[in-house]
């Protein structure tokens, strides 16, 4: 990536800012577009005085935001999105606008720009819905998301595929497990920390605590971006990779780890199971683990398992 000119949408966000860090350290020239809806200016502040870095406060829901800022970007990392799954239950239009509409506007700008022909897209394990095969491979189907967020990500994938085949783009789609680490703005670890800071005697756990999923530290994820980029085959058009840990952890165990890291001794756990099936909310996938054989063949492996990722993330967020 040395001397490459790249655009990172959502680059001031949780994952995006970590990606910006590694791209800048690799020697790239990086432009970030972020509307600061969930991203934070502080996440990229350290790069503001660097001549290879540019920050633009703009919203991809506005078509001009993409068209005015692509310019000579050779590679586009598209991470701008609203990633809070639970929002879809009360405000479905948020995921339509922030995910699908923003992606369409970006693709249209790339089509007209004619220089930006490589897109790296941040997708999600939620596109699989509730798969019958665990670990779940990239070629699993049919894909039947159970959340609006998952549906919006799958819709983005479909748009990207169609643009690649119609307008000769190349795209790499990364489907993430649950990503944790510093700069996170939501998620189960942060939720538990905030609840325990408010009341150290009792911890509410959404669902029955038996949900079992894969968790990956954000530092491992951003390494996967570069591994996938190095493995790009422009003859294939679209390539999809799962990115996650090689194991799972129960939500109840995450609660125990957070309590240990906060030095809180034996608070009572109160399970809030309104759906009566173990889920914490509509759209909550109870069991998730991705098959990562494909990206492993590019030389990438997670350095931490799920429990280690949760433990380190908790320390980073406290």
CA–CA separation, 110 vs 170, rounded Å? 11
Structural domains for the chain: 5-179+216-243 (3.40.50.720), 181-214+247-317 (3.90.25.10)
Mind listing the pLDDT tens digit for each residue in 196-232?
Answer: 999 999 999 999 999 999 999 999 999 999 999 988 8
Confidence at 88, pLDDT banded by 50, 70, 90: low
Confidence at 116, pLDDT banded by 50, 70, 90: confident
CA–CA separation, 136 vs 242, rounded Å? 9
pLDDT of residue 233: 78
pLDDT of residue 124: 97
* Contact (CB, 8 A) for 67 and 112: yes
> In the predicted model, is pLDDT for residue 84 greater than 80?
no
Q: Classify the C-alpha dihedral 194-198-204-210 as positive or negative.
A: positive
pLDDT of residue 103: 97
Average pLDDT over residues 59-79: 90
CA–CA separation, 193 vs 317, rounded Å? 8
Q: Kindly state the percentage of the chain with pLDDT values over 90.
A: 84
Which three-class secondary structure state does DSSP give residue 17? helix
> In the predicted model, is pLDDT for residue 49 greater than 90?
yes
Residue 273: DSSP 8-state: -
The helix (run of H) or strand (run of E) holding residue 201 is: none
pLDDT of residue 70: 86
pLDDT of residue 1: 65
Average pLDDT over residues 66-94: 84
Range scoring the smallest mean pLDDT among 94-98, 130-134, 239-243: 94-98
Average pLDDT over residues 243-266: 96
Average pLDDT over residues 245-265: 97
* Contact (CB, 8 A) for 84 and 281: no
pLDDT of residue 292: 98
> In the predicted model, is pLDDT for residue 300 greater than 70?
yes
What are 169's strand-pairing partners? none
Question: Which residue do the tokens 């596109």 mark?
Answer: 127
Range scoring the smallest mean pLDDT among 69-73, 185-189, 190-194: 69-73
CA–CA separation, 259 vs 318, rounded Å? 12
- The pLDDT mean for the chain works out to 94
* Contact (CB, 8 A) for 164 and 108: no
The helix (run of H) or strand (run of E) holding residue 316 is: helix 306-317
| Burial class for 167, CB neighbours closer than 10 Å (0-12, 13-18, 19+) | middle
Q: Classify the C-alpha dihedral 27-65-15-198 as positive or negative.
A: positive
> In the predicted model, is pLDDT for residue 167 greater than 90?
yes
CA–CA separation, 101 vs 256, rounded Å? 39
């Amino acid at each position: 990536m040395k001397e490459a000119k790249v655009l990172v949408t959502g680059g001031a966000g949780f994952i995006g800012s970590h990606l910006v860090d590694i791209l800048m350290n690799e020697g790239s020239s990086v432009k970030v577009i972020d509307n600061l809806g969930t991203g934070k200016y502080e996440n990229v502040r350290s790069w503001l005085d660097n001549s290879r870095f540019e920050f633009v406060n703009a919203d991809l829901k506005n078509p001009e935001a993409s068209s005015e800022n692509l310019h000579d970007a050779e590679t586009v990392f598209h991470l701008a999105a609203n990633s809070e799954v639970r929002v879809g239950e009360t405000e479905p239009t948020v995921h339509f606008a922030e995910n699908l509409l923003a992606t369409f506007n970006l693709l249209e700008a790339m089509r007209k720009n004619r220089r930006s022909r490589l897109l790296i897209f941040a997708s999600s394990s939620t596109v699989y819905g509730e798969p019958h095969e665990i670990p779940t491979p990239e070629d699993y189907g049919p894909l039947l998301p159970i959340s609006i967020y998952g549906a919006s990500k799958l819709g983005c994938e479909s748009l990207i595929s169609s643009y690649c085949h119609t307008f000769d783009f190349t795209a790499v789609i990364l489907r993430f497990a649950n990503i944790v680490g510093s700069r996170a703005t939501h998620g189960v670890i942060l939720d538990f920390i905030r609840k325990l800071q408010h009341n150290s005697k009792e911890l509410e756990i959404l669902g029955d605590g038996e949900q079992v999923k894969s968790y990956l530290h954000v530092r491992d994820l951003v390494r996967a971006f570069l591994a996938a980029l190095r493995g790009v085959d422009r003859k294939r058009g679209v390539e999809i990779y799962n990115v996650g840990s090689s194991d799972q952890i129960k939500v109840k165990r995450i609660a125990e780890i957070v309590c240990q890291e906060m030095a809180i001794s034996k608070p009572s756990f109160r399970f809030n199971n309104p759906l009566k099936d173990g889920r914490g909310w509509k759209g909550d996938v109870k069991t998730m683990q991705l098959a990562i054989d494909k990206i492993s063949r590019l030389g990438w492996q997670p350095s931490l398992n799920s429990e280690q990722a949760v433990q380190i993330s908790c320390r980073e967020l406290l």
